[in-house]
Structures are given as C-alpha cells and as structure tokens.
Structure 1
Amino acid sequence: MAREAERGTDSPLPRSADVAQLAGVSRKTVSRVLNNEPYVSDEARRRVLDAAEALGYRLNHAARALASGRTRSIGVVALGTAGYGTASLLVHIEQAVRDAGYALRVVNTPDGGPESIAGALESLLEQGVDGVIVSEPFVKGEVSVRVNVPVLFIGAPPAPAFTASRTLSVSVGAHELARAATEHLLDLGHATVHHLSGPRRWYATTDRIEGWRAALAARGAHEPPLLNGDWSAASGYAAGRALASDRTVTAVFAAGDEMAIGLIHALREAGRRVPEDISVVGFDGNPVFAYVSPPLTTARQPFEAAAAEGIRLLVHAIEQPDSEPAPASDPPVELVVRGSTAPPPSLRG
C-alpha cells in the first residue's frame, strides 16, 4: 500500500473506522470484506485487508456474538486417532473453518460408537456452537440426540435417529476412487483384483467395497473372497501372508495405505515380488509412501476439497437458513500411479 500505519504501544486498539480511513472506503465496505460478504470489488477487498493487516485490526467476535446471537464457532466430532486420513481431514476442516471467520471446537471420541458420538454432540451444544461437523468415518447404529443447529456429515450419510435443524453431507468420493483403483489394475491386464477391506462397520469400508465390486462387475471379472483388515500395517501383513502362497493372485487393492505397506512386506518376505509377481494399490494418498520401495500406487482422497465444500454448505446453512446454497460439486478422483503396479507376469513373458 502507498500509505503506512504506525501505532505505539500506548495507542488505542484500531477500530473499523480506522481501517476504512486507511483503505479509503466506507465502514460498510470494511464490514462486508471482514465478514466475507459479496458485492465488493477485488481492489476494494485488497485495500481493506491490507489496511487491517497494517493496523493489526482484528474482528471483535465477542461483540458480534452478542449482537447476532451466534458464537461464531463450529464444533467437530472426530475419531480420536492419529491416522493419516482422519488427521488430514481435520487439518483441512480447521483451515476452512478459520477462512470462513469461525473458531473450531473439537471433541474426539474414543471408539466412534453411537453413545460416544451422542456424548460429544451434547458437549459441543453446551458450548453454544453455531453448527456441527461429524467427521467420524463410521456411524453405524442409532445416534439418539436432538441437535438445534445445522449438522454436516463428511464422508458418511446422516446417522439414523439423528434430529437436527438441518443435515448436510459431502462425499470424499470413496466409491469412485475405489473403482478407479480397481480399474487401473484391470487395465494393466490382471484377470481380477483381490480386495483387503477395512473394518466392516465403517462407512468408508462399505464405499470402497462397493467401488471395487462395481469395477469388477463392469468388466465381467470374477469377484474373489474379501480379506478383512483394521487399517493397520499389521493387518495388511497378516493378509499378505495369507495371499502369498496363492500363485493365482496377481493384483490386490488395499483400502488403506498402511495396510498396503504391511501387505507388501509380507509378500516380499514370502518371496513374492512387487510389482513383478503381484501389483498392489493403496488408498488415502499418504505422501510418505512415495518414498518406500517400491513407491506405492494409491488413490488420493480429496480431503482439502471435501472440507472446503462442506464448510461452504454449513456456513450458508448457519448464516442464510432460509435459502438453498449452490449444489455441492463432485469431489475429484485422483489415482497416483507409482512403482507398485505393473502388468501381470503372463503379459510380460
């Protein structure tokens, strides 16, 4: 900016009027920019933000809460785990909530069961949140609770026996990603694809199984028996030991990257080469597994896009409850092809 602002330690805190004066705009324009409202030119928005930064101006959220009856906070119910998928989604939720001008309040559940989720929701409602996000990857069973604010489900449909002023949902595209992973292996020439699933009570597991089955059915490929894991590398290792002796197995789609790594380790211990003998695809897109041997082919979940889209819908429901937002866009489908997949031995001579 052409103008600079200086403020000594004894100066009063800057006001919106000070921002308006420095930016050369009206106080109404400052309000619109800082509340992320439309109908402001890009140039005016830039000047206001630059002026606010130069003055060290911060919105008085407490005053706004008193005036509006809202706390400008959003609560999230999350599974208490440091797993890559759950943690990555939570990071992007926090960023999207902050970008929307809200504070985030998080309650973790120990097991993701209906009673734990109901208790977490009650805790958030007692804190007066304006909306709630349920990013639990599994909610099977009734969650008997009444919620008087909008609720957003990410990656799962609204839970049964769940009463809210409004329920919203966004997909992470797990079905489409699982189908793309399976199709990649079929496109390489594998006659069929085995699937190592996650725990059966997770919605995430169901979506991936259905995507795998759809891809096999569309190609007329035989559907092998399911292998069940629990997302851990140890469960992948156990599945790999079970598969290693079956010389007809040439391709495996694992529902999680960590399970895929455990699977590969067991196969290689048994003398089965990856990808020369068996191709393996993971799921999540953990960037760490680009640096294992072989680098893991994986279906990358669109955590950032899902969080941004979900928060857009939730904030609209909070701030404009009588109008419908623009429809949610389809999540991107991205398969990251690396060194763990190749054509089957029969096609390589």
Structure 2
Amino acid sequence: MAERRSARPPSMVDVAREAGVAHVTVSRVLNGHPSVRPETRDRVVAAIERLGYRRNDLARSLKSGRSMTIGLVIAGSELFELPRTLLGVEKAAQQAGYWVNMSSWQGGGTDQLAATVDRLTSQAAEGIAIIADRPVVASALERMVARVPMTVVTSGNLMNPAIGSVELDQELGARLATRHLLELGHRDIVHLTGRLTAFDARARVEGWRAKMREAGVSEPEVLEGDFSAASGYRLGREVARRKRRPTAVFAGNDQMAMGVLAAFAEEGVAVPGDVSLVGFDDIMGSEYLVPSLTTVRQDFVALGRTSIDVLVGLMAGARPRHHLIAPTLVVRRSSAPPPR
C-alpha cells in the first residue's frame, strides 16, 4: 500500500531536513543573506523546488510585527510615463524586500486622500508612496498629516516638511537644452511652452530664460502652447511665416516638437538647415522622426526607484527632504550651428 502523503504543506524545517542544513541556513537563503556559501545555497534552492515550499509571509509578518508592504497611491489621471515610473517602483520595492499594495485617488478633498492612505495603512502598509498629478494633489498633500512615512513623486517642491518628495529637475533640463543651442552658436532662440499654469512649463521657461540671460541675451521670446502636437504645429506655422525667423526653437516637449516639424515641412523650412529644433522628454520614437530629434531625456524608471529608496530611508528614520533627479541631453540630427 502506497505511503499516504501528509496534507500539511512543506515547512522550513522540511526544507532544512531535505537539504541537510540547519533551519537558520534556510532562513538566510530565503532572505538573501550573503554569508551562505554558493554550494549550500544551491542545495537549499533545489530542496525548495523539490518540496514545493512556499514561504508564508502572513505568518512571518505576524511573528515579526512587520508586513513588509508599501502602499502606493496613484493620484490623478494626467500622469506622464506612468508605466515606466511604476516599473521603477516595483523594482526598488522588490530589491528592498517589500510588496506593493496599490490604490487610486482621482481627486476630491484632503479627507478623501487621507481616507485612501488610511485604507492602505489599515492593511499594514509600513509606508506610503504617492505618484501625483500635481494640479490634482498639491493642495491636499500640503495639508495632510503624515501618519506613516510618506514620499511623493510630483512636480515642484511640496510645502509639507513631514513628507519626502522626488521630482525630475525640469529647470536643469531646460538649461541643458538651451546651453546646447548656445554652444552651437545660436542667439535667437524662441521657446514654445506648455500651458503656463503647469509647473513643468514654468520651470522649463525659467531654466531657458536663465541660461539665455547668462549668455547676454535679454528678453528672450516665449510663445505659449499647451504641450500638444497641435499647439506645436500652430506655433510652428507662426514662426515659419515670419520675415525674420529665429535660428533655433526650443519646444516645451517632444509632442510640440513633432507639430513644429510638420509645420516647418509644410512651409518649406529645413531642420536643422534653416532652424534647429530641440524637444523635451525623449518620448518613444523621437529618434525616428525626420530628422531625429535632439531632446532632453527624463529617466522615469529612476524616478519611481528613487521614490521607494527615499521611502525606505524614511521608514528607517531619515528626515524628509526634497530630491531632484537630473535629466540628460540626447543630441541627434535636428540641431546644428545656425546658417551663415
């Protein structure tokens, strides 16, 4: 008669017995401890696979008093490059040994945001990360009381000293784009902005304007759009039809730059032969535009990763502060020295 199998799932003790090691060795392997020799680690992993062992994280959290869970709030619907930001969040949390419990908040008052955060903390989240659409979330966050360590991915320095924040340095990105054009020899550089009610648009204007002033160019020209390709096309046609065109255009983002390219092509303005063009964001496909687009690259994976690194630091007792992530300039064929 065949031996009857136990209905009990395999335990860490069973794994230790199967691998011929101590219980503490199995625990060290599961937690990635560096003191375990490679051959011992391989033996434990093989035993885990043979037995089908699965770690009981609920029992582990009850025993330790820790859930090893981070709450993540997606706040707002206008979140640029959210998938890449979430990828950074997930990777960083995984490397730090945390699970991510996600929720969503789509506007309302401070009470509603607090209720969303409280729901996550009631599920034993040890800290909260918020990926925020700033117009939706800024005022609510500034008034919130942080009941657990909290960090926010947003644009602009959050005026709440109890909450850590992380953002991409928009002003530096604009400085990089403008410096590139200045170093090529351009002095007449028009900036096509997004809607100036948006923090990102205002920060990019400030970076561009500061760099132009450093070069001795006073009162540089700003034309306001709304970050759409349509507004780039409209403003691009306006620039192309001038009797005296600028030698370079710094577009508020790559979508606007795409509209400018279409307008210039229709008006017979060569890029970069007649006018150089620089965008912002390095969106997917910008290298395949004709000509390929010089632009400012923002690392959204690093943005998400840093938000979790900062949160883990806060949970370990670090003080909240504002973190800026530097963008980089990607030089392609749409920029060149001005025509002689």
Shorter-chain TM range is 0.7 to 0.9
1:76 to 73, 78, 82: 73
State yes or no: 1:216 paired with 2:212.
yes
Matched residue, 2:112 = 119
User: Residue 309 of structure 2 corresponds to which residue in structure 1?
Assistant: 312
Aligned-pair CA distance for 1:181: 0.9
Does residue 340 of structure 1 match 2:339?
no
Report what 1:229 is aligned to. 225
Q: Helix, strand or coil for the counterpart of 2:145?
A: strand
The 1:106–1:336 alpha-carbon spacing in structure 2 relative to 1, beyond 3 Å, is same
Query: Closer, same or farther in 2 for the Cα pair 1:329/1:138, shift >3 Å?
Result: closer
8 A Cα contact 1:137 1:204, kept in partner: no
Hey, what's the Cα distance between the residues in 2 that align with 1:46 and 1:203? 51
Other-structure match for 1:149: 148
Take 1:41 and 1:116, find their aligned partners in 2: how far apart are those partners?
A: 51
Question: Normalising by the residue count of structure 1, what TM-score does the alignment of the two structures yield?
Answer: 0.78
Matches within 5 A, 1:247-266: 247-266=244-263
Q: Residue 278 of structure 2 aligns with which residue? A: 281
Q: Aligned-pair distance for 1:329?
A: 8.2
Give the aligned length. Answer: 327
Relative to structure 1, the CA distance from residue 10 to residue 124 in structure 2 (aligned partners, 3 Å threshold; closer, same or farther) is farther
Cα deviation, 1:18-72, whole Å, max 9, x if unaligned, reads 55567776554654564567x6478599659955874655543323443425461
The Cα RMSD (Å) is 3.5
Higher normalized contact order (CA 8 Å, seq sep 6+, divided by chain length)? 2
Q: Residue 99 and residue 141 in structure 1: after superposition, are their counterparts in 2 closer, same or farther (change >3 A)? A: closer
In 1, Cα distance between equivalents of 2:307 and 2:88: 11
Cα distance, 1:221 vs structure 2 = 1.9
Question: Could you tell me whether the CA contact under 8 Å between 1:150 and 1:317 is conserved in 2?
Answer: yes
**Aligned residues of 1:178 and 1:209 also touching (Cα < 8 A):** yes
Q: Deviations over 1:60-97 (max 9, x none)?
A: 332344342546132133432474x3442233223322
Contact 2:70 2:129 (8 Å CA) reproduced: no
Gaps of 5+ in 2: none
- The one-letter code of the counterpart of 1:289 is S
- Once the two structures are superposed, residues 124-179 of structure 1 have per-residue CA deviations (whole angstroms, 9 ceiling, x without a partner) of 3213233222322524852133331122122434534x58xx42123323222221
The CA distance in 2 between the partners of 1:13 and 1:26, in whole Å, is 19
Whether the aligned pair in 2 keeps the contact of 1:52 and 1:58 (CA below 8 Å) is no
Could you list the per-position Cα deviations for residues 176-217 of structure 1 after superposition, in whole angstroms to 9, with x for gaps in the alignment?
A: 222111111111111132222223333322332222122112
Contact kept, 8 Å, 1:180 with 1:335, in 2: the verdict is yes
Task: Sort the Cα spacing of 1:134 and 1:226 in 2 relative to 1 into closer, same or farther, 3 A.
Answer: farther
Contact 1:142 / 1:159 at 8 angstroms: preserved in 2? no
Distance 2:251 2:7 in 1: 60
Query: Secondary structure at the residue paired with 2:337?
Result: coil
Fraction of identical pairs, as percent: 35
Shift in alpha-carbon separation, 1:286–1:50, aligned structure 2, 3 A:
farther
C-alpha distance 217-102 of structure 1, shift in aligned 2 (>3 A): same
Aligned: 1:291 with 2:288? yes
CA contact (8 A) 2:93 2:100 kept: yes
Counterpart-to-counterpart distance in 2, 1:141 and 1:329:
16
Task: Please say which structure displays the higher CA radius of gyration.
Answer: 2
TM-score (ref. length: structure 2):
0.80
Instruction: Tell whether the 8 Å contact from 1:194 to 1:251 is kept in structure 2 after alignment.
Output: yes
Kept in 2, the 8 Å contact 1:138–1:204? The answer is no
Maintained 8 Å contact 1:276/1:342: yes
> Which runs of 5 or more residues in structure 1 are unaligned?
1-8
Q: Give the letter aligned to residue 328 of structure 2.
A: E
Is residue 189 of structure 1 aligned with residue 185 of structure 2?
yes
CA offset at residue 339 of structure 1?
Answer: 1.3
> Structure 1 residues 285-294 or 218-227, which shifts more?
218-227
Deviations along 1:305-336, whole A, 9 cap, x unmatched? 23222211202322x23x569x9987454211
